């Protein structure tokens, strides 16, 4: 089936209309031993809940800048698609002082306090666990997201020319994100059913493409590894075999 998607949210919608039970993201944290596998359907459900939180509870408006102070992680991937779905502009590693909202991991909370808008904190604990003690001045994502709706509809349609992603001061609209994702998928040699292993961070296009957007555009999947440098070569070889990895970034 030839993709007609013009926005990142439409790429996810196309994936849902296909084999929605297939894995989309298999996440490893080699500092904690965590492994999480999300099918297309499970990932889309997390995206819908997060987009509802972003739009209804946090009051995000189309064009609002959402600073994502987060590592390469399955929950970061969820936040990226949630921002794209609401029409907000995702800014990985962005300056919180200039952002309308900030989403922070546990290691960047002090930096995130510079944001004058809504602040959300992710504990990044296994199984999406909450903070033992919620950080002052932040909403705990793990507490807020479970009660959100499983279906998301933006208040206003998010078109392909709406700004979607800001990287190093360059703002890409939705159509540009999709076009770049397709080009990256082609450059990586991805096709339907490919399994791409990525240990890249999410602070630039290469990491975002390998860790989410290119596999999504190619109807492929990603084995996303955090702290991959801590994995001995023999264990990495075992993972490549066990996860049926076909490509590496």
135-163 pLDDT, tens digit per residue, is 999 999 999 999 999 999 999 999 999 99
Q: Which of 77, 182, 56 is nearest to 122 (CA)?
A: 77
70-107 pLDDT, tens digit per residue, is 999 999 999 999 999 999 999 999 999 999 999 999 99
31-50 pLDDT, tens digit per residue, is 999 999 999 999 999 999 99
Farthest-apart Cα atoms in the chain, separation: 50
Split at pLDDT 50, 70, 90, the class of 1 is low
Pick the CATH number of 8-248 from 2.40.110.10, 2.60.40.10, 2.40.100.10, 3.40.50.12780: 3.40.50.12780
**pTM, 2 dp:** 0.97
165-224 pLDDT, tens digit per residue, is 999 999 999 999 999 999 999 999 999 999 999 999 999 999 999 999 999 999 999 999
Is pLDDT of 127 > 90?
Answer: no
What pLDDT shows up at residue 134? 87
One-letter-per-residue 3-state SS of 121-181: ECCCCHHHCCCCCCCCCCEEHHHHCCCCCCCCCCCCCCCCCCEEEEECCEEEEHHHHHHHH
Place of tokens 């049926």: 244
Torsions phi, psi for 197 (to 5 deg)? -95, 125
């Amino acid at each position: 089936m030839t993709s007609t998607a013009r926005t990142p949210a439409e790429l996810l919608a196309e994936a849902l209309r296909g084999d929605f039970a297939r894995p989309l993201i298999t996440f490893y944290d080699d500092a904690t031993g965590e492994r999480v596998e999300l099918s297309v359907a499970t990932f889309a459900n997390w995206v819908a809940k997060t987009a509802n939180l972003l739009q209804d509870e946090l009051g995000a408006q189309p064009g609002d800048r959402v600073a994502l102070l987060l590592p390469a992680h399955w929950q970061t991937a969820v936040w990226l698609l949630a921002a794209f779905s609401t029409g907000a502009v995702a800014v990985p590693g962005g300056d919180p002082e200039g952002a309308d909202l900030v989403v922070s991991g546990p290691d960047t909370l002090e930096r995130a306090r510079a944001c004058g808008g809504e602040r959300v904190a992710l504990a990044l604990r296994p199984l999406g666990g909450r903070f033992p003690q919620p950080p002052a001045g932040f909403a705990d994502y793990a507490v807020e997201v479970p009660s959100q709706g499983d279906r998301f509809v933006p208040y206003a349609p998010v078109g392909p020319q709406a700004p979607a992603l800001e990287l190093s001061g360059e703002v890409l609209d939705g159509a540009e994100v999709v076009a770049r994702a397709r080009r990256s998928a082609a450059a990586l040699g991805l096709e339907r059913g490919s399994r791409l292993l990525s240990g890249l961070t999410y602070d630039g296009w290469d990491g975002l493409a390998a860790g989410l957007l290119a596999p999504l555009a190619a109807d492929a999947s990603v084995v996303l590894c955090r702290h991959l440098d801590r994995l001995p070569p023999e264990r990495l070889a075992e993972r490549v075999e066990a996860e049926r990895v076909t490509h590496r970034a």
